[in-house]
Amino acid sequence: MSAYSVTEPSRLSKSVAALLVVGYAVITLLPLLWILSTGFKSGPDSISYPPKVLFEPSLEGYVNLFTTRTRIGAEQFAALPPPETWYDKIVRQSGTVIAGPSRFGERFMNSVIIGFGSTFLSIFLGTLAAYAFSRFRVPLKDDLLFFILSTRMMPPIAVAIPIYLMYRELGLSDTHLGMILLYTAVNISLAVWLLKGFIDEIPREYEEAALIDGYTRFQAFRKVVLPQAATGIASTAIFCLIFAWNEYAFAVLLTSGNAQTAPPFIPTIIGVGGQDWPAVAAGATLFLLPVMIFTILLRKHLLRGITFGAVRK
Amino acid sequence: MAEVGLHGVGMSYGATQALQDVSMTIPDGAFVVLLGPTGAGKTTTLRLIAGLERPEHGDITIDGQSVLRDTPAQRDVAMVFQQYSLYPHLSVRDNLAFPLRSPMLRLPEAEIAARVQAVARSLRIEHKLNNKATALSGGEMQRVSIGRALVRQPRIYLMDEPLSSLDAKLRADLRVELKRIHADLGATFLYVTHDQIEAMTMATHVGVLDQGRLVQFGTPREIYEDPVSTYVASRLGQPRITLLPAGSFGPGAPAAAAQMGLRPEHIVIGEGQSATVRRVERLGDQTRLHLAFGPHEIVTLTDPHTPLAAGESIAIRPQNPLWFDAHGNRI
Ligand SMILES: Nc1ncnc2c1ncn2[C@@H]1O[C@H](COP(=O)(O)OP(=O)(O)OP(=O)(O)O)[C@@H](O)[C@H]1O
Ligand SMILES: [Mg+2]
């Protein structure tokens, strides 16, 4: 006979819960699986009807994503030397040759720089501000906090035109710095509020103990508060990254070349040489990965929760 | 090695007056115990000396120098918090090493390891050094917390009920250990406790706080034998002092006396007026008698092996009781 526990759910309710979760996961993951598989289909397979679930995998989509290709005359084509690389070979199958790399790599790197840059800046400033609001006597604290929150109440795109004009004047249009500042400005209110909640929960006694143990306030912040705020920092960082990574409207408006991110770029793939669904799907798949990897890396912190155990209440 | 002075210190939290015009001088090397009921301002006093709070009035000096502008680190004090706050993200070992790794000290790691080991041994927590700070019992946390104060040698030790959640044997052992450290280091201690034995055996001086005011400061014997008020008299003594109307045993009270205070040693059993035994509490090393004396109850001590039982009558007589006036002040 197994022991009966008051806090652990019973085996039956656990399996029912598991079933529900798995069912829900399958439903939500199906479109993602479809994108993933389309990325590995050949052009004809991707638009065949009825849709193919089983197909011969091909890297055509990925090769098309990263290259630009040209169609050349038949005798010219026949005169070409044999393909040197595996991707040359794939391209030749559709009667084209590689003209050069596509812009996707650059755009993707722009997304990475702007997304992670603005996330870092939001968290860095947000943590310091949240700590100050949580611990110090700040004049007009409540009003300031409300002001910070209020910047979030208007849909950011409502100020698109002024920002567009301002950025043009300041020379920030289509620059990495400009986009990082913009996304940071949008995210910082969320960051301050979320992080303040987490830091409020960390008892002051820890910092006081560190002050007495011979540390300065800033050192106490770094050695005692930061490790305990890790959970809050991780989850806030994920929120910030998701916003900056997915943002489309400002990216369309303010970037065109130099600093264009992946979201406005991916739709333009369709136009290149007919409707290249596998390439679009490949781009979408790669675009999904960073946020997913980031979340998985920080999962430990998200799940761990905050430890209050060592303070007697 | 430090003399601590509080000079007319006042401090409030919002509307709560936590301390009011407190002045005392804690001599270099003294072991001062602060007594007072909950909310009297004991923790606040320690926090002011540590530099975690700023007084609204008055001055705080260490070795004659005002320290109001110094940070806690500059004051070179160690504190055991009432809510022992171990760093939850660190192991016990790292918790103990934390003060030694501070930028003020910068000790070599080998010396840190040796000191941590030595303190852990004296507090009997060697076997828990690798535990996470959260994976400890209450008493173990309390000992780690004491250990964090003992690893370095500050000028002043501030301890807020450091032994409160230990079992009786461990408490007795650590009492001796702390006293030994006090004697060896000659450091100044300020110690909060509700425990009479700790107060009487460890203290060189006792300060009694009443709602934020320091009402008496003296040696443990002075506080016990020569209290200035009924309030101070009630702080020490087990069983507590019995307070009766001045004339309860007939004439003989001083003119202004309103109350007489009777500790067990002020009650002679076997002669005088009759009282009825209500209850006999056998505590092992002592036996307490609860007596009905007219409308009053008196608690006193008797021989541990007394044959007395509830319902019996005995004779009692006061001997050199303490006299208090209508305001509870000593006459
Ligand atoms: N952070 C605070 N905010 C508001 N009031 C406080 C705060 N800390 C203490 N007080 C008040 O100040 C007074 C003195 O508190 P203090 O903590 O010094 O008492 P104490 O003597 O240590 O009591 P205990 O034996 O319960 O620990 C109390 O009335 C308490 O309610
Ligand atoms: Mg207290």
pLDDT in tens, B192-213: 998 888 888 999 999 999 999 9
- Ion ligand 2 neighbours, Cβ < 5 Å: B 43, 82
- B175 and B47, same structural domain? yes
Chain A, window 43-82: residues with a beta carbon less than 8 angstroms from a chain B beta carbon: none
Q: What is the pLDDT of residue A80?
A: 84
Q: Is the pLDDT of residue A279 over 70?
A: yes
Q: Which of B215, B233, B251 marks a domain boundary? A: B233
- B270 and B227, same structural domain? no
- B309 and B222, same structural domain? no
Q: Is the pLDDT of residue A311 over 50?
A: no
DSSP-derived secondary structure for B96-151: HHGGGGSTTT---HHHHHHHHHHHHHHTT-GGGTTSBTTSS-HHHHHHHHHHHHHS
Atom 30 of ligand 1 has which residue's CA nearest to it? B39
Going by the DSSP 8-state scheme, the letter that residue B165 receives in this structure is: T
Q: Which of B204, B233, B262 marks a domain boundary? A: B233
Residue B81 alpha carbon to ligand 2 centre in Å: 9
- B210 and B71, same structural domain? yes
CA distances from B101 to A220, B92, B104, B260, B272 (A): 12, 14, 8, 56, 67
Query: Which amino acid, one-letter code, is at A164?
Result: Y
Average pLDDT, integer, range B106-122? 91
Q: Distance between CA B91 and CA B17 in Å, rounded?
A: 39
Atom 24 of ligand 1 has which residue's CA nearest to it? B38
Q: Inter-chain contact B78–A308, Cβ cutoff 8 Å?
A: no
Our measurement of the distance from residue A18's CA atom to the centroid of its chain's CA atoms, rounded to an integer in Å, reads 28
- B265 and B223, same structural domain? no
Q: Distance between CA B105 and CA B132 in Å, rounded?
A: 24
Residues B227, B195 contacting (CB under 8 angstroms):
no
Domain-wise residue ranges, chain A? 11-40, 45-102, 105-307
Enumerate the residues of chain A whose CB falls inside 8 A of the CB of residue B51: 211-212
Q: Is residue B330 part of a domain?
A: no
- B199 and B285, same structural domain? no
Cβ–ligand 1 contact at B27 (below 6 Å): no
The lowest-confidence range among A165-169, A253-257, B26-30, B52-56 is A253-257
- B224 and B276, same structural domain? no
Q: Could you tell me if A206 lies within 8 Å of chain B, comparing CB atoms? A: yes
**Confidence grade of residue A2 (pLDDT, cut at 50, 70, 90):** low
Q: Is the pLDDT of residue A240 over 90?
A: yes
Our measurement of the distance from residue A5's CA atom to the centroid of its chain's CA atoms, rounded to an integer in Å, reads 41
Residue A211: both structure tokens together: 């002050």
Residue A251: both structure tokens together: 């990216």
Element spanning B285, H or E = none
Q: Is the pLDDT of residue A305 over 60?
A: no
Q: Which of B233, B255, B289 marks a domain boundary? A: B233
Query: What atom in ligand 1 is closest to the CA of residue B42?
Result: 21
Please report, for the domain that includes residue B285, its CATH number. 2.40.50.140
* Predicted structure pTM score: 0.81
Residues B139, B170 contacting (CB under 8 angstroms):
yes
- B185 and B61, same structural domain? yes
Strand partners of residue B156: B77, B188
Residue A290 alpha carbon to ligand 1 centre in Å: 50
Q: Distance between CA A40 and CA A64 in Å, rounded?
A: 11
- B278 and B227, same structural domain? no
Q: Is the pLDDT of residue A10 over 90?
A: no
Q: Inter-chain contact B89–A210, Cβ cutoff 8 Å?
A: no
Q: What is the pLDDT of residue B2?
A: 87
Its sign, for the CA torsion A156, A161, A166, A169, is: positive
Average pLDDT, integer, range A157-163? 87
Compute the count of residue pairs across chains A and B with CB atoms less than 8 Å apart: 82
- B139 and B70, same structural domain? yes
Q: Which residue has the higher pLDDT, B177 or A270?
A: B177
Q: What is the pLDDT of residue A19?
A: 95
> How many other CB atoms are there within 10 angstroms of residue A94's CB atom?
13
pLDDT in tens, B254-275: 888 889 999 999 999 988 888 9
> How many other CB atoms are there within 10 angstroms of residue B192's CB atom?
26
Partner residue facing A311 (CB), from B83, B105, B152: B83
Q: Is residue B228 part of a domain?
A: yes
Q: Inter-chain contact A216–B103, Cβ cutoff 8 Å?
A: yes
Q: Inter-chain contact B78–A203, Cβ cutoff 8 Å?
A: no
The lowest-confidence range among A298-307, B63-72, B246-255 is A298-307
Q: Distance between CA A151 and CA A282 in Å, rounded?
A: 36
CATH code for the part of the protein at A105-307: 1.10.3720.10
Cβ–ligand 1 contact at B34 (below 6 Å): no
In the block, tokens 């909950």 appear at B38
Q: How many domains does chain B have?
A: 2
Domain coverage including residue B259: 242-324
Q: What is the pLDDT of residue A167?
A: 93
pLDDT in tens, B143-184: 999 999 999 889 999 999 999 888 888 899 889 989 988 988
Q: Inter-chain contact B81–A307, Cβ cutoff 8 Å?
A: no
Q: Is residue B171 part of a domain?
A: yes
Q: Is the pLDDT of residue B91 over 80?
A: yes
- B247 and B136, same structural domain? no
Enumerate the residues of chain A whose CB falls inside 8 A of the CB of residue B133: 309-310
Q: Is residue B331 part of a domain?
A: no
ipTM: 0.84
Q: Is residue B187 part of a domain?
A: yes
Q: What is the pLDDT of residue A69?
A: 84
Q: Beta B31-35 vs B188-192: how paired, if at all?
A: parallel
Residue A274: both structure tokens together: 């007919």
pLDDT in tens, A27-56: 999 999 999 999 999 888 888 888 888 888
pLDDT in tens, B224-242: 999 999 999 999 888 899 9
Residue B164 alpha carbon to ligand 2 centre in Å: 12
Q: What is the pLDDT of residue A308?
A: 38
Residues whose CB falls within 8 Å of the CB of residue A32, separated by 6 or more in sequence, listed in order: A288
**Confidence grade of residue B62 (pLDDT, cut at 50, 70, 90):** very high
Q: Is the pLDDT of residue A301 over 80?
A: no
- B220 and B197, same structural domain? yes
Q: What is the pLDDT of residue B188?
A: 93
Please report, for the domain that includes residue B68, its CATH number. 3.40.50.300
- Name the residue of chain B whose CA is nearest to A229's CA: B89
- The nearest CA of chain A is from the CA of B44 a distance in Å of 14
Kindly report the three-state secondary structure assignment for every residue of chain A. CCCCCCCCCCHHHHHHHHHHHHHHHHHHHHHHHHHHHHCCCCHHHHHCCCCCCCCCCCCHHHHHHHEEEEECCHHHHHHCCCCCCHHHHHHHHCCEEEEEECCHHHHHHHHHHHHHHHHHHHHHHHHHHHHHHHHCCCCCHHHHHHHHHHCCCCCHHHHHHHHHHHHHHHCCCCCHHHHHHHHHHHHHHHHHHHHHHHHHCCCCHHHHHHHHCCCCHHHHHHHHHHHHHHHHHHHHHHHHHHHHHHCCHHHHHHCCCCCCCHHHHHHHHHHCCCCCHHHHHHHHHHHHHHHHHHHHHHHHHHHHCCCCCCCCC
Query: What atom in ligand 1 is closest to the CA of residue B12?
Result: 12
Enumerate the residues of chain B whose CB falls inside 8 A of the CB of residue A222: none
Q: What is the pLDDT of residue A312?
A: 37
Q: What is the pLDDT of residue B156?
A: 94
Going by the DSSP 8-state scheme, the letter that residue B194 receives in this structure is: S
